[in-house]
Structure 1
Amino acid sequence: MNGRIVWLFHLLCFTGAALQMTGPSTYKARVGSIAHIPCTFTAHKLPADPKYFAVIWNLEGKHILSYDNIVTSTDPRYSLDKDRALNGSAHLTISNTFPSDGGIYTCSVIDSPVRREKEIRVKISGAALQMTGPFTYEARVGSIAHIPCTFKADKLPANPKYFAIFWYLKGKHILSYDNTVIPTDPRYSLDKDRALNGNASLTISNPSVSDGGLYTCSVNYSSFLMKRKISMTLSARPLLSMLGSVQRNRENTLTCMANRYFPNDINVTWYKDGKVLKNQSMGEPLQYDNGTYQVNSTAKITPSDDDRNKTFSCRIQHVSLQEPLQEDFQLSYEGTNNQEFQSESSSHVVIIIGIVIAVVLIIGIIAAVILCRQKRKRKGQAFGVCPLLQCPSSTDESIV
């Protein structure tokens, strides 16, 4: 009996001695760098058997990462190399360290049935500068774009003596701020006061298609440099217009134009009473000098009396639209055969043209009267020389 106890005692002692924690108890890193917090150990047999092996990391007593066949973490910045851990190096890697990452870490290694722990004090030094904000930004052609670049620092507003900002588009310098904002294009601007308080966003007035791409915001504060890349995509809403006239009992071509849109991918469809017209086709898109596009969709119809008051629609679907863009019109018919059908859209155009012509005629008549009166005064004649309008007599004082 005593022999078995001695044997178990030696077995436990041997197993315990087979797992020993090694490595330093302190570690230093700079803000924004990649930290590799050390946790090394020796064991009787390496690599360890994954069935009986585990690693647990805690920060100030709070669990942040574990490895037990798989690595799970509470922050995507935390990681651990499984193969290296099985061979005696269970380092915790932290990408883009923050000042808050400093503190006391505990590395626990379990090689069943033995568990060993080691504390490592981590100090994060350097300027407390952290880049924040999204990595993508969407803007509209012709609007005002505010490409985001925000950051946090130990002390804000920043001291202008130790602070600078640089903006790049596709690797090419476009704006700098070092006490003075200097852009390479008058459309670029930056608010100095907001920049000193953590918002170095770039403003672009009237952006065009060519302004899309990968931007880099570089913030230099107290000899510490951090960069952030932001991809800006642009879109332009299409303008919809319909062309063509419609007559009964003959083939007519309806044209729907999508104009000034970007990007090129677009869908233009014709409908009759909500059903897709069969005889329709899309033309080849044309690109303007500013990068936007124009495309026509045509539909051929042969309207009859049965089509009276039917609703025809042109619908556009595009990434710039939250909902499809659609215009409807109804065919109306009055009178005898072979008279022209007219859509609501075209009738509105006729009314507008009529009003414009009437206004022009009235202005022309008034101008002619004034001209005649002026000539009469200069030449002392009773009548002017207008071929279509006789000038008023000298006794008519109502026209002035």
Structure 2
Amino acid sequence: MNGRTVWLFLLLCSTGAAALQMTGPTTYKARVGAIAHIPCTFKADNLPADPKDFTVFWYLEKKIILRYDKTLTSTDPRYSLDKDQALNGIAHLTISNTFLSDGGTYTCAVTIEPLRKEIDIKVEISGGALQMTGPSTYEARLGSIAHIPCTFTADNLPADPRYFAVVWHFEGKLIQSSNNTVIPTDPRYSMDNDRALKGNADLTISNSSVSDGGVYTCSVNYSSFLMKREISMNLSARPLLSILSKSVQRNTENNLTCMANGFFPNDIKVTWYKDGEVLKNQSMGKPLQYDNGTYQVNSTVTITPNDDDQNKMLSCRIQHVSLQGPLQEDFQITYPGSSSHVGIIIVIVIAVVVIIAALAWWKREKICREGVL
């Protein structure tokens, strides 16, 4: 090759190099779970390019992730490129569902033989697309259906099931998942997977028991972005109140018993009153636990009522976390043969006398009418 030929060759290469130019931003921002279109455009003579001489490469941190030369190959099914657009100067890389790990420096390289150009784009992925919401505590009644709350907000809901999972733990033990990889440890556990994809991943317990109380952890993994929230479930059962006997003897020591039954938890207060004042000589036994986990306890009071206590009000009052206000039962002090009973007898006697007098008057009037006739 003589000097003139070399000069012409170099001139052609220089002219050809000017015919391939890369354009695009130096940075690109996307959010977790969104569809990213990382831009890469170029200009060249004779577009669309001839597929035989045309190749597009995409790199992430210098490692190849996609290649297009007649066929498209990629290291992740989320990566794609529009082949027709690429031949016409638009070689954008599409990521169908971005992860936090997708952030980094991407390199787009275009080859139109014998020319090659490349450009770097820094991709920043924001994790603000997933946020957990809901209370940190949940109150439930024993035996009821519990719905332990776990809600979240995210971009592009409903989420793509391929890149989404919800996992529940109870006291650190795995109990339930949304992607069916975990068999529930208890048939009472359930979760609506369709609602979970839309932001509501509540755990349902069909028949809550004492052993269900504790700390639950809801973990949401969305496009490799993981968030967790702890929810404490507190269980309670309302007590039933009953006074075992309301019979009181005058000037005699009487033992009265008030029973609180079927309550949970076992912290409870039972108090006796007379006309609103706390009575002395009362005591509460130790709560006894049933097989279902609820409790029963008795409170007794000793009183020696006199004539002045007639018709006064005795009350048993229960205070418990399951109650919005105190639970109370009242009854009046009455004595067998008391004035109230005498009064009732007098009323009955008067009624009998009136009836007899009325019958006698009716009989006399009848005799008189018959005599006239």
- When normalised by structure 2's length, the TM-score is 0.55
Structure 1 unmatched ranges of 5 or more: 1-25, 32-98, 100-120, 340-400
Task: Compute the RMSD of aligned alpha carbons.
Answer: 3.0
1:220 is matched with 221
Equivalents in 2 of 1:229, 1:122: separation in Å?
A: 33
2:83 is matched with none
Report the Cα offset of residue 305 of structure 1.
2.7
Report the Cα offset of residue 221 of structure 1.
2.0
In terms of mean alpha carbon deviation, does 201-210 or 123-132 score higher? 123-132
Residues 345-382 of structure 1: CA distance to partner in whole angstroms, max 9, x if unpaired?
xxxxxxxxxxxxxxxxxxxxxxxxxxxxxxxxxxxxxx
Equivalents in 1 of 2:173, 2:181: separation in Å?
A: 19
Equivalents in 1 of 2:127, 2:203: separation in Å?
A: 26
For the residue of structure 1 that corresponds to 2:260, the secondary structure is strand
Instruction: State yes or no: 1:298 paired with 2:300.
Output: yes
Instruction: State yes or no: 1:311 paired with 2:316.
Output: no
Match of 2:168, as an amino acid? W
Instruction: State yes or no: 1:211 paired with 2:197.
Output: no
Alignment map for 1:314-353 (pairs within 5 Å): 314-335=316-337
For the residue of structure 1 that corresponds to 2:243, the secondary structure is strand
Match of 2:175, as an amino acid? I
Residues 242-267 of structure 1: CA distance to partner in whole angstroms, max 9, x if unpaired?
11332222111111111121222211
Structure 2 unmatched ranges of 5 or more: 1-26, 33-99, 101-121, 342-373
Report the Cα offset of residue 30 of structure 1.
8.7
Change (3 A) 1:324 1:237: same
Q: Could you say which structure has the larger radius of gyration?
A: 2
Equivalents in 1 of 2:194, 2:207: separation in Å?
A: 23
1:238 is matched with 239
Report if the CA contact (8 A) 2:249-2:335 is conserved.
no
Equivalents in 2 of 1:179, 1:152: separation in Å?
A: 22
1:371 is matched with none
Report if the CA contact (8 A) 1:140-1:234 is conserved.
yes
Match of 2:159, as an amino acid? A
Alignment map for 1:100-249 (pairs within 5 Å): 123-126=124-127, 128-178=129-179, 182-244=183-245, 245-249=247-251
Alignment map for 1:263-274 (pairs within 5 Å): 263-274=265-276
Match of 1:264, as an amino acid? N
Report the Cα offset of residue 29 of structure 1.
11
Equivalents in 2 of 1:250, 1:210: separation in Å?
A: 47
Report if the CA contact (8 A) 2:275-2:313 is conserved.
yes
Where relative contact order (Cα < 8 A, 6+ residues apart) is larger, the structure is: 2
Residues 307-343 of structure 1: CA distance to partner in whole angstroms, max 9, x if unpaired?
2211110001111111011111112335269x9xxxx
Equivalents in 1 of 2:306, 2:124: separation in Å?
A: 84
Equivalents in 1 of 2:298, 2:222: separation in Å?
A: 53
For the residue of structure 2 that corresponds to 1:195, the secondary structure is helix
Equivalents in 1 of 2:319, 2:223: separation in Å?
A: 50
Report the Cα offset of residue 207 of structure 1.
1.0
Match of 2:270, as an amino acid? V
Equivalents in 2 of 1:270, 1:336: separation in Å?
A: 24
Report if the CA contact (8 A) 1:126-1:224 is conserved.
yes
Report the Cα offset of residue 283 of structure 1.
1.1
Report the Cα offset of residue 229 of structure 1.
1.2
Equivalents in 1 of 2:31, 2:260: separation in Å?
A: 54
Residues 140-183 of structure 1: CA distance to partner in whole angstroms, max 9, x if unpaired?
21222111101111111112222221111001111121168842
Equivalents in 2 of 1:241, 1:127: separation in Å?
A: 56
Report the Cα offset of residue 290 of structure 1.
2.6
2:254 is matched with 252
Name the % identity: 78
Alignment map for 1:2-13 (pairs within 5 Å): none
2:95 is matched with none
1:287 is matched with 289
Change (3 A) 1:284 1:122: farther
Equivalents in 2 of 1:229, 1:197: separation in Å?
A: 20
Residues 48-80 of structure 1: CA distance to partner in whole angstroms, max 9, x if unpaired?
xxxxxxxxxxxxxxxxxxxxxxxxxxxxxxxxx
In terms of mean alpha carbon deviation, does 123-132 or 190-199 score higher? 123-132
Q: Which runs of 4+ in 1 moved over 3 A?
A: 28-31, 121-124, 179-182
Equivalents in 2 of 1:196, 1:127: separation in Å?
A: 17
For the residue of structure 2 that corresponds to 1:246, the secondary structure is coil
For the residue of structure 2 that corresponds to 1:130, the secondary structure is strand
Equivalents in 2 of 1:251, 1:284: separation in Å?
A: 24
For the residue of structure 1 that corresponds to 2:187, the secondary structure is coil
Equivalents in 2 of 1:29, 1:271: separation in Å?
A: 69
For the residue of structure 2 that corresponds to 1:306, the secondary structure is helix
Report if the CA contact (8 A) 1:139-1:232 is conserved.
yes
2:278 is matched with 276
Equivalents in 1 of 2:192, 2:200: separation in Å?
A: 8
Equivalents in 2 of 1:306, 1:184: separation in Å?
A: 64
Equivalents in 2 of 1:301, 1:250: separation in Å?
A: 8
Report if the CA contact (8 A) 1:127-1:221 is conserved.
no
Change (3 A) 1:198 1:336: closer
